[in-house]
Amino acid sequence: MMNDIRRVAVVGAGQMGAGIAEVFARAGLDTIVCEHGPAALRAARARIDRSLHRAVDRGRLTERQRADTWAHLLFADDLEVLADRQLVVEAVVEDERVKAEVLVTLDKVLVADDAVLATNTSAIPVTRLGIATGRAAHVLGLHFFNPAPVMPLVELVSSLHTDPTVLDRVHGFAEDVLGKQVIRSRDRAGFVVNALLIPYLLSAIRLAEAGHATAADIDAGMVHGCAHPMGPLRLADLIGLDTVEAIARSMYDEYKEPLYAPPPLLSRMVEAGLLGRKTGHGFHPYRTP
Catalytic residue among 22, 90, 94, 155: 155
* Rg, C-alpha atoms of the chain: 19
Q: Decide if 143 is catalytic.
A: yes
Catalytic residue among 51, 122, 185, 250: 122
Q: How far apart are CA 137 and CA 144, in angstroms?
A: 21
Q: Decide if 122 is catalytic.
A: yes
Catalytic residue among 143, 158, 159, 185: 143
Task: List, by residue number, the catalytic residues.
Answer: 122, 143, 155, 194
